[in-house]
Amino acid sequence: MSFKEVREYAAGDDVRFIDWNVSARFGHPYSKIFEEERELSVMLLVDISNSSLFGTHYGLKRDVATEIAAVLAFSAVSNGDKVGAIFYSDKVEMYIAPKKGRQHALYIVREILSLEAKGKGTRLNTALKYFTNAIKQSSIAFVLSDFIDANYEDALRVAGKKHDLIGIKIYDQMDQELPNAGLMQLVDAETGNTQWVDTSNAYVRKNMKSSFLKQQHIV
């Protein structure tokens, strides 16, 4: 609730809301009037690191993140709320301040589609710290990422004390389970390192799935 104005006291007004300073000045009782603060700020923290450019089934992870971000952005502006965004890799690539309006939501979606990451890795920790410092008012924040990262738990807790945080994990089927396709050369999209993996080995596939599920639990 936020203060709106004062008016002369009327029968039935809550005496707890009498403004004694104004009442003394005018010689009549005056009541404070409040209105509900409905306006929210919705923030989208979108991982645009090179790992988001991977996809084997539905599309690239970036494509999936774009669709989800578009739904969230247009839902926010349809509700009369502000929406902003932070695009990050191992650094903050771009910050878009929260604003209202359909054109602003379209601008956010266009930037997700076109912005190329300059950073080489992924650091959610950096994005969360920037978010906490940049957005002072309590907001609802959606983190769209594959969460292939580490050491962001402390920053997550700090941001969570002030804002409502919702994590949306974006992943491909091959992030979870390797196909039985024999010897494959895999390339790390962020470091460029290559590794040969024998996907026909059941133990290798099991380890891959176990690692994914363990990381899923952390998120």
Residue 60: closest CA among 173, 143, 142, 194 = 173
Residue 82: closest CA among 4, 164, 139 = 139
> Is 103 found in the same domain as 24?
no
> Is 136 found in the same domain as 52?
yes
> Is 24 found in the same domain as 125?
no
What pLDDT score does 38 carry? 61
> Is 63 found in the same domain as 133?
yes
| CA–CA dist 155, 125 (Å, integer) | 6
> Is 68 found in the same domain as 19?
no
Can you give the pLDDT of all 219 residues of the chain as single tens digits? 567 788 888 888 888 889 989 889 888 899 988 766 566 899 999 999 988 888 777 788 899 999 999 999 999 999 889 999 999 999 999 999 999 999 999 999 999 999 999 988 899 999 999 999 999 888 999 999 988 888 899 999 999 998 999 999 998 877 777 778 888 877 777 777 888 888 888 878 888 777 777 666 544
Residue in the structure block whose two tokens are 């509700």: 79
| CA–CA dist 145, 65 (Å, integer) | 8
> Is 73 found in the same domain as 18?
no
CA atoms within 13 A of residue 36's CA, in its CB half-sphere? 2
> What does pTM read for this prediction?
0.72
> Is 85 found in the same domain as 11?
no
Give the other-Cβ count within 10 Å of 89's Cβ: 24
What pLDDT score does 76 carry? 93
> Is 69 found in the same domain as 172?
yes
> Is 46 found in the same domain as 6?
no
List the domain range (segments joined by +) for residue 88.
41-218
Read off φ and ψ for residue 7, nearest 5 degrees. Answer: -145, 165
What pLDDT score does 88 carry? 95
* Tally of domains in the chain: 2
